[in-house]
Amino acid sequence: MAGRPGDVARTQLEYLLWREERSYSEMAAQFEAVARSLGEQATITDRHLRRLASGERQSATPVTRRVFQAMFGQPLDVLLGPWRGESPVAGTVALNDREMLEMAANRARKFTLTAQSNLTGEGMDQIHDDVAALATAYQQRPLTEILPQLIQVQDDLFTLLEGHQPPAYTRRLLLLTSVVSGLLGKSSHDLGDPHAALTQARTAYLCADQADHNGMRAWIRGIQSLVAYWAGRHHEAVRYAQQGAQVAATSTASIWLPVGEARAWAALGNSAAARAAIERAEDGWARVQPDEVDELGGICTFSRARQLYYAADALAWLPSEAEAAEQYSMEAVAAYSDTTAPEWAFGDSAGSSCDLAVARVMRGEIAGASEALQPVLGLPPEQRINGIVASVKHVHRALTTLPRSAETTELQEQIEMFARTPLVQPR
């Protein structure tokens, strides 16, 4: 289905359709096949498809929008926007076998969750496994890859909580909803939106409260402290961490909260409070006993590697602690060197390298700082989340404290080039 010579596509959708070697009727049949694979009742006529592609028609039903999203990997509003002479960021219409199998699995999952008026044991296990998989994937895959599933799982959980299920399942659903809302709060933070992040976190805390689960309350306080820290609200970050520590009991959140507090104290210039919090975290390992939240794995459990990174991140704020910062950050970089380890996290690994670069700048070792930072500067845009960009900029600020030289200028220019292409482009 190609446009005539000299024709210019009027919308992104029209461009994508012209790229295919099929007629409008064949593409309408493809639309219906995708709808069936999603378990949706949706059809489209050749004429309707042509009018949408030409820009004559802008409205569409929610189900039509969902099918177009699945076909092209972009919302219909984006697809109906003007084509600007370059290939849009969208998927291909011709779904491969893997994509079709994923759609079939999603359809089977939807049936498992909603086949009966009450949630079944199989359905409960399914959604628990979904959340556990997301907790691990969150640390290891680009946010753009997992965000749609996160949003879908949260919607499924809200739907289940609004419906009827055996009382024994209600608490588990509340815990899983708290986790997913916390992950979406972290997602908003990673995209540079602390307001939306804290809104999700409040919903997560409400669910933790309704489940009456202290380990979950503590974990959500950790998310809130993290968001506040990166937003520059350091006193607020301290407050959230201290509130969480009061209920953390023996889960790994009891390590996360004090070392998170240490970062905020260090950012405020309080070296003594930061050091004391780091020591509390070190001492806490002897009392740790994993709970239901820890058992989900991934970002839901706080590892020794993350503790080393947080300690390095705290000490990197304090010029008087340059030697200790370098030691902690080298240990953290080593701890994250195995990318196949279950606890590996690309964001924490990058943050550890940035802290090592800052520590070396504080010690006047510019070549060493540049060496430490190169793996971070090589990250693709889809991994340049808010925290990583902020950490790289911390290196830039540290360089401004040194006498200007060709070496420092070159590294600053590399950092500035990196920061120009964050995960989300400014609008």
* DSSP class per residue in 75-127: -HHHHTSPP-SS--S---SS--HHHHHHHHHHHHHHHHHHSSSBPPHHHHHHH
Which one-letter DSSP state was computed for residue 424? S
Domain hosting 234: range is 120-299
For the chain, the domain total comes to: 3
295 and 163 within one domain: yes
- Do residues 88 and 159 both lie within one domain? no
Q: What is the pTM of this model?
A: 0.72
Q: Please say which residue of 251, 267, 299 terminates a domain.
A: 299
Find, among 348, 343, 322, the residue nearest to 333 by Cα: 348
Same domain, 358 and 379: yes
Whether residue 267 is predicted with pLDDT greater than 80 in this model: the reply is: yes
Highest mean pLDDT among 89-93, 121-125, 267-271, 343-347: 267-271
**Residue 26 placed within a domain:** yes
pLDDT tens for 223-257 read 999 999 999 999 999 999 999 999 998 999 999 99
- Greatest C-alpha distance within the chain: 73
Residue reference for tokens 């496994």: 129
pLDDT in tens, 291-301: 999 999 999 99
Provide the 3-class DSSP secondary structure of residue 164: strand
286 shares a domain with 337: no
Q: Is the pLDDT of residue 313 over 70?
A: yes
Instruction: For 159-175, write each residue's pLDDT tens digit.
Output: 888 777 787 889 999 99
**305 dihedral zone (left: phi>0; alpha: psi -120 to 50; beta):** alpha
CA 210 – CA 170 distance, rounded (Å): 10
Angle between helices 322-335 and 304-315 (to 10 degrees): 150
Q: How many residues make up the chain in this entry?
A: 427
Q: Is residue 170 part of a domain?
A: yes
Contact (Cβ atoms closer than 8 angstroms) between residue 391 and residue 354: yes
Domain boundary among 243, 264, 299: 299
- Joined together, the tokens standing for residue 333 give 């970089």
In a domain? residue 307: yes
Percent of the chain clearing pLDDT 70 (strictly above): 89
364: left (phi over 0), alpha (psi -120 to 50) or beta: left
Residues 6+ apart with CB under 8 A from 31: 42, 43, 44, 49, 67, 68, 71
Kindly list the distances between the CA atom of residue 299 and the CA atoms of 186, 275, 327, in Å, as whole numbers in the listed order: 10, 25, 24
Q: Within a domain: residue 113?
A: no
Q: Confirm whether 131 is domain-assigned.
A: yes
Domain for residue 106, yes or no? no
- Given a cut of 70, whether residue 107 has pLDDT beyond it is no
Is 377 in the same domain as 397?
A: yes
CA distance 105 to 395: 44
Whether the per-residue pLDDT at 42 is higher than 70: the answer is yes
Q: Residue range 84-108: average pLDDT?
A: 52
Q: What is the CATH number of the domain that holds 340?
A: 1.25.40.10
Q: For residue range 359-369, what is the model confidence (pLDDT) as tens digits?
A: 999 999 999 99
Question: Domain boundary at 240, 264, 299, which?
Answer: 299
Q: Report the pLDDT value the prediction gives residue 178, as an integer from 0 to 100.
A: 96
> Could you report the per-residue pLDDT of 391-408, keeping only the tens digit for each?
999 999 999 999 999 999
278 and 321 within one domain: no
The more confidently predicted of residues 426 and 156 is 156
List CB contacts of 311: < 8 A, sequence separation 6 or more: 259, 262, 278, 281, 328, 332
